Amino acid sequence: MLFLFGTGSTVTASEPLPNLTCQYCQTTGNLVVHVVARYVQVFFIPVLPLGKAATTVCGHCRQTLRPGEQPAAYLAPVAAVAARAKTPFWHYALLAVFGAGLAFAMLSAVVGRIRNGPAPDPAVPVVGQRFKMKLDEGELGPYALAEIERVTADTVYYRTTGLLRGPLTPATATVALRDSIAPVTGHARYPVAMWHFLTTGEGRFRLYK
């Protein structure tokens, strides 16, 4: 997709500086300051204000001085005019749209959480929860799955698959948890505190479902 970037500008103030003497032609009362607000535009739509720049022009000798070129005597009166010059609201047009979109997304997330209840907490073992057990670093390495079968006050009972490889989807997980459970070693248990450590503290068991 082609993006058309550029910058644009708007003169937001033009005011005389009646008490100032031109540093070049030494006449007084001929200086004017123009404040320009610049912005980044995409497809000619302002998206981001770039700030203001004030340029002085002498009506007598035409000397034009950009920011950084103006003598010290100009700075305070120029700054006063620049401070009064308001950046047009439409320079913020797309920022405002993005801001509104972000606010809407955050609000939707909050509303969704209220509706759906909090996200499942892996530290609170629930029968049927599935966990992916990382056996080494990296996503491509072998892994195993665990599914909680029973929970008592102090113990979590779970079944666990043999080593699995390849993509993990809800369907492959269901098949593996049915077909890859060893009769004896495929069922194990942990004290609740240990389970908590593995699923949150150490993170070796990551909640998958």
Indicate whether 22 belongs to the interface with Zn ion (CB under 5 A). yes
At 99, the amino acid letter reads: G
Please state, in angstroms and as integers, the Cα–Cα distance from residue 202 to each residue in 15, 133, 193, following that order.
66, 11, 12
Measuring CA to CA, which residue among 122, 162, 170, 169 is closest to residue 143?
162
Give counts: helices (H), strands (E), the chain.
4, 9
Q: Is 40 a binder of Zn ion (CB under 5 A)? A: no
Pick the stretch among 58-66, 78-86, 128-136, 195-203 that binds Zn ion (CB under 5 A).
Answer: 58-66
Nearer to Zn ion, 58 or 133 (CB): 58
SS3 171: helix
Q: Is the Cβ of residue 25 or residue 53 nearer to Zn ion in the bound state?
A: 25
Alpha helix locations (H) across 20-159? 72-84, 93-116
Work out which of 24, 90, 98, 104 binds Zn ion, going by CB under 5 A. 24
CA–CA gap between residue 50 and residue 27 (Å, rounded): 33
Question: For residues 17 and 82, which CB has a smaller minimum distance to Zn ion in the complex?
Answer: 17
Q: Does residue 60 touch Zn ion according to CB under 5 A?
A: yes
Nearer to Zn ion, 75 or 100 (CB): 75
The answer to whether residue 64 forms part of the interface with Zn ion (CB under 5 A) is no
Chain residues binding Zn ion by CB under 5 A are 22, 24-25, 58, 60-61
